Structure 1
Amino acid sequence: MSDFKSKLGEKFKVEEVTQEVEPLSSSFQRFLRKGIYAIWDKKACIFCSHFICNNDIAAQRAFIDCIAAENSTIHNYYQDFQLFKLGDVDERGHLQAFDDELMLIDGLVAWETWQTDLRIKQMSADKLGRKLKMLHDNEVRKSKAKAQTPNPNAEMPSGATS
């Protein structure tokens, strides 16, 4: 019995608390894993631009950003590239390679996604521009109308009677 327990005496009973450490849940372990991705060049038949990303969606977004980068090989020949997931890596550095690479998105699909996003952004910018122009025109009309309305608080010219 430890000194602490003997000092408590019989008035207090202290039970040993043992805490078993549970293994991490599979969903949490999945959160700690990151994917290993690479861009496949169909013409050269090689994987290039290997990178690690948190998940498949973030990797696809990065691939679309590569396609959007003007004056790059991937931008100019987007139809020749594909994004593949090669495996996973966990927080301890353990690698899990896949037997077959997993193709996530083709360059043509990524290009179309980028073009659609671009059109939506342009439409939003055009709509915002039209709204701002309308608000400006309304303010100009109000200020012109206000300038043409006589001020009732202005002094009457001398000799005028009301």
Structure 2
Amino acid sequence: MSQHPLPLPEGVVCALIGAPGSGKSTFAARFPSTWCLNLDTYRALAADTEADQSAAPVAVDVQKLLLDARLSRGLRAVIDSTNLEPAVRAGLLARARRWNRPTVAVLFDVPLGTILARNGDRTRVVAPRVVADLHHLLPTTEQLTAEGFGTVYRISDRTTDV
């Protein structure tokens, strides 16, 4: 098992938040694989490709089912998805509240130029316009705290808080 990049309490919902190519999946790979819930994986399982956005509703349902299964057992869950939309984060927070579990947000505040360069080197390249649009949705640490996350970590190529 690899060294865990953060001290995560038992039963935590840990939301990784950032645009495609910001380093979320690389970061998540440092946790045990059983902790990580990834929409790309579930889209690929449903449609033979993680790029098929038509499989997103099924992927979201699978993620919710597995998240509830882990939280009901007091197990950690690292949500490896963009999590850039406030409604998505609100849903994760609501599930954590339902199971009386702690929450952590890890904000990948990486410059757009860095993300676009990384995106070009990925196996599955996301359209640069989509990456830029998603990058503009990046919340602040203060916003995440106000939404209800108990702990917020910020990761950036400029300075690293984690």
- TM-score by length of structure 2 reads 0.23
Q: Which of the pair is proportionally richer in strand?
A: 1
The structure with higher relative contact order (CA 8 Å, sep 6+) is 2
